[in-house]
Amino acid sequence: MKVLILSPGYPADMPEFTRGLADAGAEVFGVGDQPVAALPDLVKRSLSKYVQVRSLWDSAAVLGELRAQLRGNEIDRVECLWEPGIMLAAELRQQLGVSGLSIDEAHRFRDKEAMKLALDEAGVRTPRHVAADSAAAVWEATEQIGFPVILKPIAGAGSADTYRIESADELRAVLPRLRHVATVSVEEFVDGEEYTFDTITIDGEIAYYNIAWYRPRPLVARSNEWISPQVIALRDVDDAQLAAGVAMGYDVIEALNFQTGFTHMEWYRKSDGEVVFGEIGARPPGAHQVDQMKYACDFDVFRAWGSAVVQGRLNAEFERRYNVATIYKRAKGVGRITHIEGTDRLQKRFGEHVVWNTLLPPGSPRRDWLQTLVSDGFIMLRHADLDTTLEMADAVGSELHLYAG
């Protein structure tokens, strides 16, 4: 099978997905705007050919370059695991005559309003929602739904440009920050715990799924710099408290007609047990959550996805052995990292359970915590017992400190 993958070198885990396709037996072609020299070695080893384009956002030019440089190679699949490229991939599929998400289907994954309308029709519980393309329309929708509301771009990713609004004064203050967003979704605020439902799906059937728990909710974490956000990949996905969310996840996959690939859904569980859909992407989660899945089950998730795409089967056995916690750290201060406190002490206590440490070393420039969940690095650890996992994660959150100056 000849597979074209968009942007094989970016974001950070795309090289592993490119490798996963090659390991599964595909002849892999890449297209992106990075120079060949800038591609990670893993990508170079995995690709049969790379087509560099001036811009990934000029679909006609991209198609022209592909036809010119891949002449004689009939592409069987077009894959994209990066949110901004989902619509381009759909356009290329249509032009190249290959199966996968169509333009209409991809639109329902990218446009949060179209997504929720499709799920409303299928009977899935979504937050009350209205699309608004002007300040006046936002005010009207807010009056209709009632405070508190959530404002978010209809084509956004993650929690960027997302705000919880409690009052008219807050709405007045936030609206100028959203002038660059053409259309926003005004949504009912759902008060509850937030989880993911991540899948590898084959011909419409879920072959593998993962549930992660956000501590705290991303909107809270993105609003408070002092927080060390946690994402917990849960071992016991059969917990009765998660059952309604799992059932909803299956319903969403069916309603949106997703066939083969990775999906990342977010959902809420309210205190009364009701579950409410959040949103879904036709892609894997970011911030190294796929690596969490790998450490939770001790299997190669990237190759499993590749096998699903290339061979139509997962081609992997897995056992849910661990809860895996990722604790993202934000340095205190500005400038460069000067020192880190608590690592030696915590390493002695939890060292055997730590599977990954990406903390920036002293001398590194501090990252903008508003632009990346990964922030100034993270600690990833695992344990079979959930309470123990949470205790370790909370210790890292409260006792490990990075300083910048």
Q: Which two tokens stand for residue 186?
A: 């005004």
CATH class of 190-321: alpha beta
Q: Which helix (H) or strand (E) holds 345?
A: helix 343-350
Q: Fold match between 2-100 and 190-321?
A: no
Determine the Cα–Cα distance for residues 402 and 10; give it in Å rounded to an integer. Answer: 27
pTM given for the model: 0.93
Query: How high is the pLDDT of residue 160?
Result: 73
Question: DSSP secondary-structure letter at 10?
Answer: -
Query: How high is the pLDDT of residue 71?
Result: 93
pLDDT reading at 159 higher than 70 = no
Query: How high is the pLDDT of residue 219?
Result: 87
Query: How high is the pLDDT of residue 357?
Result: 97
Determine the Cα–Cα distance for residues 36 and 31; give it in Å rounded to an integer. Answer: 10
Query: How high is the pLDDT of residue 222?
Result: 87
Domain boundaries, the chain: 2-100, 128-188, 190-321, 326-405
Considering the domain 128-188 in this protein, what is its CATH number?
A: 3.30.1490.20
Q: Mean pLDDT, the chain, as a whole number?
A: 96
Please tell me whether the peptide bond between 148 and the residue prior to it is cis, using omega within 30 degrees of 0.
yes
Query: How high is the pLDDT of residue 157?
Result: 64
pLDDT reading at 139 higher than 70 = yes
Q: Are 76 and 92 in contact (CB under 8 A)?
A: no
C-alpha distances (whole Å) from 298 to each of 90, 191, 324 are 33, 34, 11
Determine the Cα–Cα distance for residues 225 and 103; give it in Å rounded to an integer. Answer: 38
CA dihedral 232, 222, 197, 239 (to 10 degrees): 40
| 370-399: pLDDT as tens digits | 888 899 999 999 999 999 999 999 999 999
Residue 177 CB-density burial (10 A; 0-12 exposed, 13-18 middle, 19+ buried): exposed
Query: How high is the pLDDT of residue 161?
Result: 83
Q: Are 113 and 131 in contact (CB under 8 A)?
A: yes
Determine the Cα–Cα distance for residues 137 and 118; give it in Å rounded to an integer. Answer: 22
Name the percent of the chain lying above pLDDT 70: 99
| 185-220: pLDDT as tens digits | 999 999 999 999 999 999 999 999 999 999 999 989
Q: Which two tokens stand for residue 101?
A: 């998400």
Average pLDDT over every residue of 94-123: 95
Query: How high is the pLDDT of residue 158?
Result: 60
Q: Collapse the DSSP code of 336 into the 3-class scheme (helix H, G, I; strand E, B; otherwise coil) and give the result.
A: strand
pLDDT reading at 290 higher than 80 = yes
Residue 154 or 166, more confident: 166
Average pLDDT over every residue of 271-287: 97
What kind of architecture, by CATH, is found in domain 2-100? 3-Layer(aba) Sandwich (3.40)
Sole residue written with tokens 């190759």: 303
Q: Are 146 and 130 in contact (CB under 8 A)?
A: no
Determine the Cα–Cα distance for residues 206 and 58; give it in Å rounded to an integer. Answer: 33
Q: Are 28 and 79 in contact (CB under 8 A)?
A: no
Query: How high is the pLDDT of residue 155?
Result: 77
Name the percent of the chain lying above pLDDT 90: 94
pLDDT reading at 254 higher than 90 = yes
Determine the Cα–Cα distance for residues 353 and 199; give it in Å rounded to an integer. Answer: 26
Any bridge partners for residue 149, and if so which?
A: 165, 188
Q: Are 214 and 229 in contact (CB under 8 A)?
A: yes
Question: DSSP secondary-structure letter at 372?
Answer: -
Confidence class for position 257, pLDDT limits 50, 70, 90: very high
